[in-house]
Amino acid sequence: MASLNKVMLIGNLTRDPELRALPSGINVADLRLAVNETYTDKSGQKVEKACFIDVVLWDKQADLCKTYLSKGSPILVEGRLQMDEWTTKEGEKRSKVRVRADRFQFLGAKRGGAEGVGVANSPSRQAPGHPTAAAQRENLGAPEDFGDAAPGDGDSPF
């Protein structure tokens, strides 16, 4: 049976990112995201609810979040659900579902007031031999097979 574990969320941070370093030297950032829902109930009243979701980012993504995000920052997160399990000091087993971010995008203004949007992809999610996003942006020209024909001038084989 096929399975899919994909999450896309847009929300605002409920607190500043919490950054910690593992003994291996890799940084990990924990975010708390509020995703709001607004609807009208049967009586015609507008209802606003928030769903709070824990998100974890690793390595360079963690560094970027700590540098550029703060409480209230809007962010888009793409990732997957992961189950964290642990045992308390009292011996009780606990578990929690959270989102492990594979990619995120800044949605608000940068610190300093300039509007901007930034994207960060997890380098660990790139397949071997798969070009990075920067390399893909540099290779957006017409394929060599088309000769001098520019895309959209009617000589395309498509």
The two counts, helices (H) then strands (E), for the chain are 2, 7
What average pLDDT does the segment 12-18 reach? 93
For residues 124 and 33, the model is more confident at 33
Q: What is the pLDDT of residue 66?
A: 85
For residues 38 and 155, the model is more confident at 38
What average pLDDT does the segment 71-86 reach? 93
Residue 33: which of 64, 69, 59, 82 has the closest Cα?
A: 69
User: Cα(22)–Cα(147) distance, rounded to whole angstroms?
Assistant: 52
Q: What is the pLDDT of residue 111?
A: 52
Q: Which domains does the chain have, with CATH numbers?
A: 7-36+49-142 (2.40.50.140)
Q: What is the pLDDT of residue 110?
A: 55
- Provide φ and ψ at 81, rounded to 5°: -75, 140
Could you tell me the pLDDT band of residue 57, with boundaries at 50, 70 and 90?
A: very high
For residue 40, pLDDT over 70 is answered with yes
Model-level pTM?
A: 0.64
